Amino acid sequence: PAERSEQTQWLLAVRDQRDREAFGRLFDFFAPRLKAMLIRGGLRDGSAEDVVQDVMISVWNKASQFDPHRAEASAWIYRIARNRQIDLYRRKPLPEPELLQEPESSEPDAPQILAMEQEAAQLREALQKLRPEQIEALRHAYMDELPHSEISRITGLPLGTIKSRIRLGLDRLRRDLTDLRPQ
Protein backbone atom coordinates (compact mmCIF):
# COMPACT_ATOMS: atom_id res chain seq x y z
CA PRO A 1 0.00 0.00 0.00
CA ALA A 2 1.22 3.45 -0.90
CA GLU A 3 2.12 5.73 1.95
CA ARG A 4 3.16 9.30 2.36
CA SER A 5 6.83 9.65 1.63
CA GLU A 6 9.02 9.95 4.71
CA GLN A 7 10.16 13.35 3.50
CA THR A 8 6.61 14.67 3.36
CA GLN A 9 5.91 13.36 6.86
CA TRP A 10 9.05 15.08 8.18
CA LEU A 11 8.05 18.33 6.52
CA LEU A 12 4.55 18.09 8.01
CA ALA A 13 6.08 17.54 11.46
CA VAL A 14 8.16 20.67 10.94
CA ARG A 15 5.10 22.58 9.74
CA ASP A 16 2.72 21.46 12.49
CA GLN A 17 4.96 20.80 15.50
CA ARG A 18 8.13 22.76 14.64
CA ASP A 19 9.80 19.36 15.11
CA ARG A 20 13.57 19.87 15.11
CA GLU A 21 14.39 16.18 14.88
CA ALA A 22 12.26 15.88 11.73
CA PHE A 23 13.97 18.99 10.40
CA GLY A 24 17.34 17.31 11.02
CA ARG A 25 16.18 14.34 8.95
CA LEU A 26 15.09 16.63 6.14
CA PHE A 27 18.55 18.17 6.28
CA ASP A 28 20.25 14.78 6.17
CA PHE A 29 18.31 13.79 3.07
CA PHE A 30 18.13 17.05 1.15
CA ALA A 31 21.28 19.01 2.02
CA PRO A 32 23.69 16.69 0.14
CA ARG A 33 21.33 16.52 -2.86
CA LEU A 34 20.71 20.27 -2.87
CA LYS A 35 24.46 20.81 -2.72
CA ALA A 36 24.94 18.47 -5.70
CA MET A 37 22.22 20.36 -7.60
CA LEU A 38 23.81 23.75 -6.86
CA ILE A 39 27.28 22.57 -7.81
CA ARG A 40 26.07 21.31 -11.16
CA GLY A 41 24.33 24.68 -11.54
CA GLY A 42 27.78 26.28 -11.41
CA LEU A 43 28.38 27.18 -7.74
CA ARG A 44 31.63 26.40 -6.00
CA ASP A 45 31.75 24.12 -3.01
CA GLY A 46 31.69 26.86 -0.34
CA SER A 47 28.99 28.99 -1.90
CA ALA A 48 26.90 25.92 -2.67
CA GLU A 49 26.96 25.09 1.01
CA ASP A 50 25.97 28.66 1.97
CA VAL A 51 23.02 28.49 -0.41
CA VAL A 52 22.00 25.10 1.02
CA GLN A 53 21.90 26.79 4.46
CA ASP A 54 19.72 29.61 3.05
CA VAL A 55 17.37 27.13 1.42
CA MET A 56 17.02 25.04 4.58
CA ILE A 57 16.32 28.17 6.67
CA SER A 58 13.59 29.07 4.15
CA VAL A 59 12.19 25.55 4.49
CA TRP A 60 11.98 26.11 8.25
CA ASN A 61 10.51 29.61 7.95
CA LYS A 62 8.05 28.90 5.14
CA ALA A 63 6.92 25.46 6.30
CA SER A 64 3.46 26.86 7.12
CA GLN A 65 2.97 27.37 3.35
CA PHE A 66 3.55 23.68 2.55
CA ASP A 67 0.40 21.99 1.28
CA PRO A 68 0.70 18.20 0.83
CA HIS A 69 -2.42 18.21 -1.37
CA ARG A 70 -0.48 20.07 -4.03
CA ALA A 71 3.16 19.09 -3.68
CA GLU A 72 5.43 16.45 -2.34
CA ALA A 73 8.22 17.63 -0.03
CA SER A 74 10.89 17.20 -2.73
CA ALA A 75 8.92 19.31 -5.23
CA TRP A 76 8.29 22.04 -2.66
CA ILE A 77 11.93 22.14 -1.57
CA TYR A 78 13.11 22.00 -5.19
CA ARG A 79 11.03 25.11 -5.98
CA ILE A 80 12.55 27.04 -3.04
CA ALA A 81 16.06 26.03 -4.09
CA ARG A 82 15.43 26.74 -7.76
CA ASN A 83 14.07 30.22 -7.03
CA ARG A 84 17.05 30.95 -4.78
CA GLN A 85 19.39 29.77 -7.55
CA ILE A 86 17.58 32.00 -10.06
CA ASP A 87 17.73 35.03 -7.70
CA LEU A 88 21.50 34.66 -7.61
CA TYR A 89 21.88 35.44 -11.29
CA ARG A 90 18.87 37.67 -11.93
CA ARG A 91 19.07 41.26 -10.86
CA LYS A 92 15.54 41.12 -9.49
CA PRO A 93 13.79 38.37 -7.57
CA LEU A 94 11.55 36.19 -9.70
CA PRO A 95 7.95 37.38 -9.30
CA GLU A 96 5.97 34.59 -7.67
CA PRO A 97 2.27 33.78 -7.97
CA GLU A 98 0.02 34.73 -5.08
CA LEU A 99 -0.13 32.06 -2.39
CA LEU A 100 -3.39 30.15 -2.31
CA GLN A 101 -5.06 30.67 1.05
CA GLU A 102 -6.31 27.44 2.57
CA PRO A 103 -9.56 27.93 4.47
CA GLU A 104 -8.72 27.68 8.20
CA SER A 105 -11.15 24.86 8.79
CA SER A 106 -10.06 22.63 5.90
CA GLU A 107 -9.32 19.09 7.04
CA PRO A 108 -6.51 17.18 5.33
CA ASP A 109 -7.93 15.14 2.45
CA ALA A 110 -6.04 11.86 2.87
CA PRO A 111 -6.97 10.24 -0.48
CA GLN A 112 -5.98 13.39 -2.33
CA ILE A 113 -2.63 13.51 -0.53
CA LEU A 114 -2.04 9.82 -1.25
CA ALA A 115 -2.85 10.30 -4.93
CA MET A 116 -0.30 13.14 -5.04
CA GLU A 117 2.31 10.94 -3.42
CA GLN A 118 1.60 8.09 -5.81
CA GLU A 119 1.94 10.32 -8.83
CA ALA A 120 5.24 11.60 -7.50
CA ALA A 121 6.48 8.07 -6.91
CA GLN A 122 5.43 7.09 -10.44
CA LEU A 123 7.23 10.14 -11.77
CA ARG A 124 10.44 9.05 -10.04
CA GLU A 125 9.97 5.57 -11.49
CA ALA A 126 9.33 6.93 -14.96
CA LEU A 127 12.48 9.05 -14.67
CA GLN A 128 14.56 5.96 -13.99
CA LYS A 129 13.40 4.46 -17.30
CA LEU A 130 14.76 7.35 -19.35
CA ARG A 131 18.01 7.10 -21.24
CA PRO A 132 20.95 8.78 -19.46
CA GLU A 133 21.19 11.54 -22.08
CA GLN A 134 17.51 12.33 -21.63
CA ILE A 135 17.94 12.62 -17.87
CA GLU A 136 20.98 14.78 -18.50
CA ALA A 137 18.93 17.10 -20.74
CA LEU A 138 16.23 17.33 -18.07
CA ARG A 139 18.81 18.17 -15.40
CA HIS A 140 20.12 20.91 -17.66
CA ALA A 141 16.64 22.37 -17.97
CA TYR A 142 15.66 22.00 -14.32
CA MET A 143 18.87 22.56 -12.40
CA ASP A 144 21.36 24.58 -14.38
CA GLU A 145 21.29 28.31 -14.45
CA LEU A 146 21.36 28.31 -18.21
CA PRO A 147 18.94 29.37 -20.89
CA HIS A 148 18.47 26.72 -23.58
CA SER A 149 20.77 28.54 -26.00
CA GLU A 150 23.62 28.22 -23.48
CA ILE A 151 23.05 24.49 -23.11
CA SER A 152 23.65 23.96 -26.79
CA ARG A 153 26.80 26.10 -26.72
CA ILE A 154 28.30 24.01 -23.95
CA THR A 155 27.34 20.58 -25.18
CA GLY A 156 27.93 21.44 -28.83
CA LEU A 157 24.51 20.06 -29.75
CA PRO A 158 22.21 22.09 -31.96
CA LEU A 159 19.41 23.80 -30.06
CA GLY A 160 16.73 21.80 -31.85
CA THR A 161 18.19 18.56 -30.52
CA ILE A 162 18.26 19.80 -26.95
CA LYS A 163 14.72 21.07 -27.11
CA SER A 164 13.43 17.89 -28.71
CA ARG A 165 15.23 15.84 -26.08
CA ILE A 166 13.61 17.77 -23.27
CA ARG A 167 10.33 17.42 -25.14
CA LEU A 168 10.84 13.69 -25.69
CA GLY A 169 11.78 13.19 -22.06
CA LEU A 170 8.70 15.00 -20.84
CA ASP A 171 6.44 13.27 -23.36
CA ARG A 172 7.75 9.92 -22.30
CA LEU A 173 7.25 10.85 -18.64
CA ARG A 174 3.76 11.98 -19.34
CA ARG A 175 2.91 8.84 -21.31
CA ASP A 176 4.29 6.59 -18.60
CA LEU A 177 2.34 8.49 -16.01
CA THR A 178 -0.83 8.30 -18.06
CA ASP A 179 -0.40 4.55 -18.53
CA LEU A 180 -0.05 4.11 -14.79
CA ARG A 181 -2.94 6.35 -13.89
CA PRO A 182 -6.39 4.70 -13.90
CA GLN A 183 -8.60 6.77 -16.22
Nearer to other proteins, 83 or 155 (CB): 83
Alpha-carbon distance of 183 to 83, in angstroms, equals 34
**Radius of gyration of the chain, Cα coordinates, nearest whole angstrom:** 18
Question: Under DSSP, is residue 100 helix (H, G, I), strand (E, B) or coil?
Answer: coil
CB 25 to other proteins: min, Å: 11
Minimum distance between the CB of residue 172 and other proteins, rounded to whole angstroms?
12
Q: How far is the CB of 32 from other proteins (least distance, A)?
A: 3
> Nearest approach, Cβ of 53 to other proteins (angstroms)?
6
Q: What angle do CA 36, 10, 13 make, to 5 degrees?
A: 140
67 contacts: CB under 8 Å, gap ≥ 6: 100, 102
The binding site for other proteins (CB under 8 A) comprises 7, 20, 24, 27-28, 30-37, 39, 48-49, 52-53, 56-58, 60-62, 70-79, 81-83, 86, 89-90, 92, 94-100, 119-120, 123-124, 127-128, 135, 138-139, 141-143, 145, 147-148, 170, 173
Minimum CB distance to other proteins smaller for 71 or for 157: 71
| Residue 106 Cβ vs other proteins, minimum distance, rounded to whole Å | 16
> Which one, 61 or 183, has the nearer CB to other proteins?
61
Q: How many whole angstroms from its chain centre is CA 52?
A: 14
For the chain, report the end-to-end CA distance as a whole number of angstroms.
20
Q: For residue 96, give every residue at least 6 positions away whose Cβ sits within 8 Å of its Cβ, in sequence order, or none.
A: 83
Q: What is the DSSP letter of 106?
A: P
